[in-house]
Amino acid sequence: MNKSKNILIVILVLFSVKTNAQKIPDGLYFVSGNEINQITILNRRDGSIKATFDTYRGALEMAFSSLKNLPGSYESVNTKENHVLTKRNNLLTLLVLGDMNLIVKKEVLAISKKELKAAKKQLGIKSELSNELGSLWGKKKKKEEEKKGPLEYFVKEATSDFHQKNVGKIIFFSKEPTVGKEDISTIKTDFKIGDEIWGVAYFSTVMKESYYLKQLSNHFQDNFGRNHYWITIGMDKMEKDLLPKENEIVNQCTVKSLKKADLEKNYVVFQVVPSSLASMKIDRDGASFLLGRMGERLDPYKHNLRISLTDGKMDQEDELYFGTITYDTTEGTEDLIMMAKEIEEGALKAKRAPTPVMRNANLEAEMMQQIELWANTKDWPGVKFHKVMITLDWQILKDDYGNIKGNYVEGDVLYSDNEGCGYRNFGFLKTYLGNGQYDENIKQHTIGHRGELSCDKVK
């Protein structure tokens, strides 16, 4: 009985030690740097912390809530800047986080000045005179881009230790990986023609919570208010004797469409090169463009390639997520060009022609007449128009002030020319005359999207 009681006491003591070890003890702490003199920490009964900062401007109080996935770590609540109290190298540390949880400032805390000195030395924090006292508490800090040395991030919810170690990187795989359960044996940096290439970009926060990552999601809202997101990559050779434009393979190429759920993730998985049409999971249009460019711009050689996540407008120094591989094309790039053509032809055959919302032979003939008139005026020669399909029924069109402009309708014309076949959208208007009256005849009003079609679908 006594033995069981002793074991229970030991277990309770160990549990208490473990629980307390995850907490930041109450008390007064000295702080490295010059902007904060001291911090007083008080644990509250709900598990949060009240911290009082003694600054040159006076006292500042801040609440911190516990990070559920990181025991012993706390983040500030309802503050303009994101502050985190955590342990780094077993030292209590205050972090100031910027976009993507980039660590823009790091201060170490200690219960005595002697311990503070040792802690600063351990973390490599040097004493410095601040040129901008108080910048932490309201003044605009220097741009994060000016931060010297490698970027350092604080990751709140890494999917695994592997994720934690590779934040800020693109890691390449020979097979589609499962993030959180990566097969290390499939990680590669050397590839050749015929190999499948996958990339994973490991983020420090979810896409929707970072301005920079939102840029990479290439957000677009269509005319119906629907949001669209997609990931694009840039690809360049890395040859010192070439000019930047000579090194460029693609500036921007779509590799994956994103769903809203993808914006809740702190990583993105994408296929760079499929091994065959059967293995293709990259965006179809992007694949034909990328493979075609690679086939055209890579000569027989073992190339060093730089692959980055980009929005197409970024300079290379602004592309924070990139990785490098070698790609052996000594056997020739004919397979890449052939695959690009097969993808393009397959996409055209699979693409449906526009579907009419109604049939009206007289209106279709009037639309065709207006389109032919537009084509002659705009010098669109050598085009054979086959038929018009009404794709939007009549709607009242108003200006920005609510005044009626006219009765509006749209149609897609199917055409062929020397380059192939396709369709083009046109909008038409019956002008409003007042008193509920409209012009009897339509006039060409807008020009919309244009797309390719297989020629057997335009006749």
Per-residue pLDDT tens digits for 106-116 = 999 999 999 99
Span 221-231, pLDDT tens digits = 876 788 999 99
- Torsion region of 322: left, alpha or beta (phi above 0 gives left; psi -120 to 50 gives alpha): beta
The torsion of the CA quartet 206, 209, 210, 213, rounded to 10 degrees, works out to 50
pLDDT-derived band at 127, boundaries 50, 70, 90 = low
Q: Mean pLDDT in the chain?
A: 88
| Alpha carbon distance 257, 215 (integer Å) | 14
Specify the pLDDT at position 15. 38
Q: Which two tokens stand for residue 288?
A: 């034909």
Assign 66 to helix, strand or coil: strand
Q: Is the pLDDT of residue 10 over 50?
A: no
pLDDT band at 194 (very low <50, low <70, confident <90, very high): very high
pLDDT for position 46: 93
The model carries a pTM of: 0.72
**72-86, 105-119, 144-158, 189-203 — which is least confidently predicted?**
144-158
- What per-residue confidence (pLDDT) applies to 69? 84
> Would the pLDDT of 235 be above 80?
yes
Question: Mean pLDDT over residues 129-143, rounded?
Answer: 38
Q: Is the pLDDT of residue 4 over 90?
A: no
- pLDDT of 163: 97
Distance between CA atoms of residues 397 and 430, nearest Å: 10
**258 vs 351: which has the higher pLDDT:** 258
User: Is residue 395 classed as helix, strand or coil in its secondary structure?
Assistant: strand
pLDDT tier at 129 (50, 70, 90 boundaries)?
A: very low
For residue 125, what are the contacts with CB-CB under 8 A and spacing of at least 6? 32, 33, 106, 107, 108, 119
Q: Give the model confidence (pLDDT) of 296-344 as tens digits.
A: 999 999 999 999 999 989 999 999 999 999 999 999 899 999 999 888 8
- Lowest mean pLDDT segment, chosen from 60-74, 265-279, 370-384: 370-384
Structure tokens at 22: 């995850």
* 147's tokens: 């931060």
**CA torsion through residues 167, 170, 173, 179, sign:** positive
Residues 115, 108: contact at Cβ < 8 Å? no
- Region of 33 (left: φ > 0; alpha: ψ -120 to 50; beta: rest) is left
Residue-wise pLDDT for 387-445, tens only, equals 999 999 999 999 999 999 999 999 999 999 988 899 999 999 999 999 999 999 999 99
Mean pLDDT of 168-187: 97
Distance, in Å, from the CA atom of 411 to the CA atom of 427, rounded to the nearest integer, reads: 6
Question: Which of 9-13, 16-20, 379-383: highest mean pLDDT?
Answer: 379-383
Separation CA 147–CA 152 (nearest Å): 10
Q: Which of 199, 312, 296, 306 is nearest to 251 (CA)?
A: 312
For residue 21, pLDDT beyond 70: no
How many beta carbons lie within 10 A of that of residue 233, not counting itself? Answer: 27
Going by pLDDT thresholds of 50, 70 and 90, the confidence category of residue 149 is: low
